[in-house]
Amino acid sequence: MSLPRIVITGVGLTAPNGNSLSEFRNALLTGKSGVSPYEIRYFGKTIAGQCNFEATRYQSRKDIRRGTRAGSIGIYCANEALKDAGIDIKGVDRSRVGIFVGTTEHGNVETETEIHNVKQYNYDLSFWTHHHNPRTVANNPAGEVTLSLATTGPAYCIGAACAAGNLGLIHSAQMLMLGEVDLALGGGVSESIHTFGIFAGFKAQTALATHEDPTKASRPFDTARNGIVISEGGCLYTLERLDDALKRKAKIYGEIAGWCVNSDASDYVLPNSVRQAECMRGALKKAGMKPSDIQIVNTHATSTMQGDELEAAAVNEVFSDSNTCVNNTKSFIGHSMGAAGALELAGNLPSFEDKIVHPTINVENLDPKCAMRGLVLNAPKKVERVDAIMNMSFGMLGINSALIVKRYQ
């Protein structure tokens, strides 16, 4: 018996340069960056990708105060994804709805905030909030979505470092294929800019971007790149079995074609281009495709010197003989951590219809070690067709993911 086909029927997102897919896509095609000046306690002035979505659209102010920033992002994205899919949650069996949210980490923001607060009272722990534990558990963002939607099916977070957004989609597809759920909301969220520790950590690694013009700080593949721009954001997708989507005459953005997840097992931080290439080939094998079947490869590249070089080597190893276009979304929004893979896929999905590949911006001098055939730089590129997209996301501790979405036909 063949496994059911899984399709994307809704997209809900908030990015530093847009709060809907149409806004986000327009920003990517017009060169609009979402990176701006930012200041956070203890660390001071820096830059970041900040979101500005309307949280009160789906939450009361009381719920916003009680919950977390990641939870608010997840609730906004989930409701927007359902709305985009034309699904009224009241009309479905909520015990058959799964919520699978990728996260890089969760709880640091809340713990740092509470320590800061009690410090003002000479560390009197009677001022420590009784909301701390539910705010900091690893399943919090997914759990907050279930509270908002009153869904009673499986709901949890997937900790996969910066590959988590892809993993949220992959796991959703797997649960639908297994028949564990009938409707899935999957992707990733990140509240990372609200913890000073992540800025301090990347600075200590000499991997935090700086630039006099914040909009030019995220510059993958450029010779002058000097590190990561930390961003917040989120993107959740409505995923369904194809038969169910066709029954309700749903709009279909694309079909999950294949994926692969593997591990480097070689370093805490430094990527492994051999394992990355293996991951890409694994996704192609699962999809029954060859490199020339992919029209767009969206890279993970974060603007670090070694990371970009190693990923470029992996892409060249797999795609050097194809006419595949290669682009990068972080050049516009920075690195949204657990949300990165999901947001970056969303930025490319409209290419199935408009046949335009959004560029990598801020590349003034391409690093020869990052040169890749088909790299689209600084301006959009019109192509004859887009039938398949490979979305790549990699993370610390050596986790790699490659997800292929194809045009539904």
Structure confidence by residue, pLDDT tens digits, 253-285: 999 999 999 999 999 999 999 999 999 999 999
Query: How many Å apart are CA 409 and CA 404, to the nearest integer?
Result: 15
Summarize the confidence of residues 95-111 as an average pLDDT. 96
141: left (phi over 0), alpha (psi -120 to 50) or beta: alpha
Average pLDDT, the chain: 97
Given pLDDT bands bounded at 50, 70 and 90, which one contains residue 2? confident
The residue count for the chain: 409
CA distance 58 to 81: 12
CATH number for the region 6-247 comes to: 3.40.47.10
Q: For residue 1, is pLDDT > 80? A: no
- What is the rounded distance in angstroms from the CA atom of residue 270 to the CA atom of residue 305? 11
Averaged pLDDT for residues 229-249 = 98
pLDDT of residue 307: 97
Rounded mean pLDDT of 62-82? 97
Contact 170, 257 (CB under 8 A): no
Is the CB of residue 98 less than 8 Å from the CB of residue 154?
A: yes
**Every domain range in the chain assigned CATH 3.40.47.10:** 6-247, 258-406
| Residue 377, pLDDT score | 98
Query: Residue 247 pLDDT > 90, yes or no?
Result: yes
pLDDT of the residue at 154: 98
Band of pLDDT at residue 358, cut at 50, 70 and 90? very high
| pLDDT at residue number 179 | 98
Residue 161's pLDDT band (boundaries 50, 70, 90)? very high
Could you give the count of Cα atoms lying within 13 Å of 265 in the half-sphere of its Cβ? 3
> Class for domain 258-406, per CATH?
alpha beta
Q: Are 49 and 230 in contact (CB under 8 A)?
A: yes
Residue 339 has pLDDT above 80, yes or no: yes
Coil/strand/helix, residue 188: strand
Dihedral of CA atoms 144, 234, 135, 193 in degrees, nearest 10, equals -160
